[in-house]
Chain A
Amino acid sequence: MSDIITVKNLVEVYSDGTKAVDDISFSVAEGEFFGFLGPNGAGKSTTIKILTTLLRKTSGTVTVAGFDVEKQAAAIRRIIGVQSQDTTVDGDLTGRENIMLQGHFHQMKTDEIKKRVNELLKLVGLEEAAEKRARNYSGGMKKRLDLATALVHKPKILFLDEPTTGLDPQSRSAIWTYLEKLNREEGITIFLTTQYLEEADKLCKRLSIIDKGKIVASGSPAELKREIGADSIRISLENCKKDNAKAKELIKTLNDVNEIIDSEECLTVFAKNAGLLIADIVRALDSSDIRIASVTFSSPSLDDVFIKHTGKRIRTEELVKAPSAMLGGRR
């Protein structure tokens, strides 16, 4: 399969000197479900803004469907669908009107849009709420409507910037179902950013882990996990500030330990047969009077991949927002 997105040595430096994206290169194949996994401020949104023609890059080469992202921006806009991090439905318009409007912005014929709107309302399960104003939708419904507006012109590539941030688990899994269906049945290439390990693991065929503007690892979730080649034990100490360093030294002396990473709130120990090691660790710490708050054992997860490459756990920050109230106050 040919590459539909290619990014080479992309750099974005903001006017205040912040290097939001620091020399990243990657490509996405046509029909692929590709993800960017990283914490807030890693450079995910910045990359999406550049790919969707909203932001000029500082340097590097970026093409989408063979078009240069700056010289041929107009051609790109015809074939991409974008769902931004903020839910951008117009609360004063009904669900149907929101999708219609987006169709008009894509210069589609009115008859064509009307037909498409019905399909989309069905796809995202908003048929019954179609004539209600989006202001009265729940958070999950708004996200689904937003997704529908991004799909009105049958885009070849769909860009989703944290499509499920702030959603309850039920709404999240509903969105996941639509996205998998779109990718599988309609062959839409999907580029998704997320700070949820579970989301990247479940949806993405391939992903890049991004931290502080740099790509630190790439591959399929299975490949990335295999790379670790070890299970992990996560140990939280009651007094981690005081005891972490000492505990690390103690555990290091045990057999079969591959690597220990101190991410402040806990120690993560990578080892081949980690299950057998738990008793040794507990004994060693106990005999040195280090009190353990909790111990968890797991087979390799994307969380471990993230810790291994960045030395810290991914921080998921739930954004608590009330956009409708804010807008109301402004008028």
Chain B
Amino acid sequence: MTLLSDTRYVFIRYMRKLVRNPILLFFSLFQPILFLALFTQLLGRLSNFPGVLPVGVSYLEFAAAGILLQNAFGSALQSGNSIVADIDSGFLHKMLVTPMSRPAILLGRLASDAFRVVVQTAIILALAYGIGAAENSPFTVNTGVIGILLIFFTIAFFGLAWSGISLALGMKTRSAETVFAIGGVITFPLLFLSSALLPINFLPGWVQTVSKFNPVSYAVDACRVLMINGYDWGTILPAWGVIGLVAVITLGATLYQFRKVVS
């Protein structure tokens, strides 16, 4: 049981660090709000053109899922910075000279990432609801509370898979700047070459092809059907499968790098 209690203390440490860094906390919360406001304002008129969005769907409803994913990306990339900071400061070594469970060091960090992204997701959904009400085009999650929980799960799962990339990069390069540079370069194409922010049939042919192989599209589609359509398991389960596959690869790389750092 030391794994669980050790994970808990690592988790608490990271939550304290987050809450006590007002700037970090502010941007963690502000970023999703900014994205939502920006994209719905920029592209909101798309729903005026017939045939672009599904009938009766506002751009807000359409894009909410994509913005959830974009936010998850941003948060996941910070995970690598935290491990770089702990390596640089020697705090990692301080943990390693104690008998604490080794996996707990990673699990505690991942748990804090997941928790944070769920809170951010809740904020985005609440805000989307507010904007929808204000603009008289209601935003709701059609599948209700259970649907919202499934969205939380999907986003957190996706966030963890993506934390794996930044953690592995952080431990490999020991440089927060590199994590951000590489992370940014990977993130943007993946987001824009997917169904996240624009309807798939609205995109050029080659983008549509890329999008089919893009894990982001799967995760977005799963959240989107839960909001707009219902429990479309034919979309949701494959998404979890794809995210699981990404997680195996990225967290595998993380574990590999972690073993190198630890031994």
B176 touches A90 (CB 8 A): no
The answer to whether B93 and A107 have CB atoms under 8 Å apart is no
* Pairwise interchain contact A90-B97, C-beta atoms closer than 8 A: no
Considering only residues 138-171 of chain B, those with a C-beta below 8 Å from chain A are: none
How many of chain A's residues touch chain B, expressed as a range? 20 to 34
Chain A positions within 8 Å of B97 at CB level: 52-54, 77, 80, 82
Segment from B14-22, B57-65, B222-230, B246-254 that makes contact with A: B14-22
Per the bound structure, the CA–CA distance linking A42 and B34 in Å amounts to 53
Q: Which residues of B contact A330 (CB under 8 A)?
A: 81, 84-85, 88, 176
Q: Establish whether residues B24 and A93, one from each chain, have CB atoms under 8 Å apart when the complex forms.
A: no
> B9 an interface residue at 8 Å Cβ cutoff?
yes
| Chain B contacts for A85, CB-based, 8 A | 90
Most chain A beta-carbon contacts within 10 A, residue among B16, B23, B99, B100: B99
CA distance A78 to B97 in the complex (A): 9
Q: Which residue of A lies closest to B95 (CB)?
A: A105
Interface string of B1-32 (1 = CB under 8 A from A): 01001100100010011001101100000000
In contact, A92 and B21 (Cβ under 8 angstroms): yes
A250 within 8 A of B: no
A106 near B99 with CB under 8 A, answer yes
Contact (A86, B89) CB under 8 Å given A104-B9, A331-B21: yes
Number of B residues whose C-beta is below 8 Å from A? 28
Tell me the bound Cα distance from A327 to B98 in angstroms.
Answer: 24
Contact B9 A105 (CB under 8 A): yes
* CB <8 Å contact, A105 and B98: yes
Q: Binary interface profile of B, 77-105, with partner A (CB < 8 Å = 1, else 0)?
A: 00001001100111101111111100000
Query: Is A105 a contact partner of B100 (Cβ separation < 8 A)?
Result: yes
Check if A133 sits within 8 Å of B9, measured CB to CB: no
Q: Could you tell me the distance in whole angstroms from the C-beta of A82 to the nearest C-beta in chain B? A: 4
Q: Verify if B48 is at the interface (C-beta below 8 Å from A).
A: no
Task: List, in ascending order, chain B residues with CB within 8 A of A54's CB.
Answer: 93, 96-97
Find chain B residues with CB under 8 A from A84 CB.
90, 93-94
Residue A101 at the chain B interface, CB threshold 8 Å: yes
Do residues A92 and B90 form an inter-chain contact, with CB atoms below 8 A? Answer: no
Residues of chain A within 8 A (CB-CB) of B84 are 330
| Inter-subunit contact B93/A102 (CB<8 Å) | no
Query: Are B90 and A86 in touch, CB under 8 angstroms?
Result: yes
Q: Closest CB-CB distance, B149 to chain A, in whole Å?
A: 31
- Residue-wise, chain A 79-95 has the 8 Å CB interface mask toward B (1 for contact) of 01010111110101100
Is B263 positioned at the interface, with any CB of A under 8 Å from its CB? yes
Would you call A123 an interface residue if the criterion is a C-beta within 8 Å of the partner chain's C-beta atoms? Answer: no
Q: In whole angstroms, what is the CA distance A309 to B94 when docked? A: 34
Tell me whether B99 and A102 are in contact (CB under 8 A).
no
Q: How far is the CA of A218 from the CA of B176 in the complex (A)?
A: 43
A323 part of interface (Cβ distance < 8 Å): yes
**A52 CA to B97 CA in the complex, in Å?**
6
* Contact across chains for B20 and A92 when beta carbons are under 8 A apart: yes
Most buried by B among A53, A80, A331: A331
**Are B98 and A88 in contact, CB atoms less than 8 angstroms apart?**
no
- B89, A88: Cβ atoms under 8 Å? yes
Q: Does A97 contact B (CB under 8 A)?
A: yes
Q: Please, which residue of chain B has its CB at the minimum distance from the CB of A93?
A: B16
* Complex Cα–Cα for A53 and B94 (A): 11
Partner of A107, one of B13, B20, B85, B99: B99
Q: Find chain B residues with CB under 8 A from A77 CB.
A: 97-99
Question: Nearest-CB distance from A17 to chain B (Å)?
Answer: 19
Picked from A86, A104, A133, the residue with its CB within 8 Å of the CB of B20 is A133
In Å, the complex CA distance between A74 and B93 comes to 14
A325 contacts partner chain B, Cβ-Cβ < 8 Å: no
- Using known A-B contacts A74-B99, A92-B17, determine if residue A82 contacts B94 with beta carbons closer than 8 Å: yes
Bound CA span A52–B99, Å: 11
Q: Is the CB of B89 within 8 A of A56?
A: no
Chain A 144-158 interface 0/1 with B at a Cβ cutoff of 8 Å (1 = within): 000001000000000
**Which residues in B have their C-beta under 8 angstroms from that of A104?**
5-6, 9
CB distance from B102 to the nearest CB of A (A): 10
Q: Which residues of the other chain, B, contact A133 by a CB distance below 8 angstroms? A: 20
- CB contacts (< 8 Å) of A52 on chain B: these are 97
B94: which of A102, A323, A327 is its contact (CB, 8 Å)?
A102
- Contact (A323, B16) CB under 8 Å given A82-B97, A331-B81: no
| Contact yes or no, A88 B99, CB < 8 A | no
Residue in contact with B91 in the complex, picked from A78, A82, A88, A97, CB distance below 8 Å: A88
Residues of chain A within 8 A of B24, CB atoms compared: 331
Asked whether any CB of chain B lies closer than 8 Å to the CB of A322, the reply is: no
* Contacting residues, chain B, for A105 (C-beta < 8 A): 6, 9, 95, 98-100
Binding site for A on B (CB under 8 A): 2, 5-6, 9, 13, 16-17, 20-21, 23-24, 81, 84-85, 88-91, 93-100, 176, 263
A sample of 11 more A-B contacts (CB under 8 A), given A82-B93, A84-B94, A86-B90, is A56-B263, A82-B97, A84-B90, A88-B91, A88-B94, A101-B9, A106-B100, A107-B2, A107-B5, A107-B6, A107-B99
Selected A-B contacts with CB under 8 Å, 22 pairs: A52-B97, A74-B99, A77-B99, A78-B99, A82-B94, A84-B90, A86-B90, A87-B90, A88-B93, A88-B94, A93-B16, A104-B5, A105-B6, A105-B95, A105-B98, A105-B100, A106-B98, A149-B94, A323-B89, A330-B85, A331-B24, A331-B85
Leading 9 A-B pairs by shortest Cβ distance: A86-B90, A105-B98, A88-B90, A92-B17, A105-B100, A104-B9, A82-B97, A77-B99, A88-B94
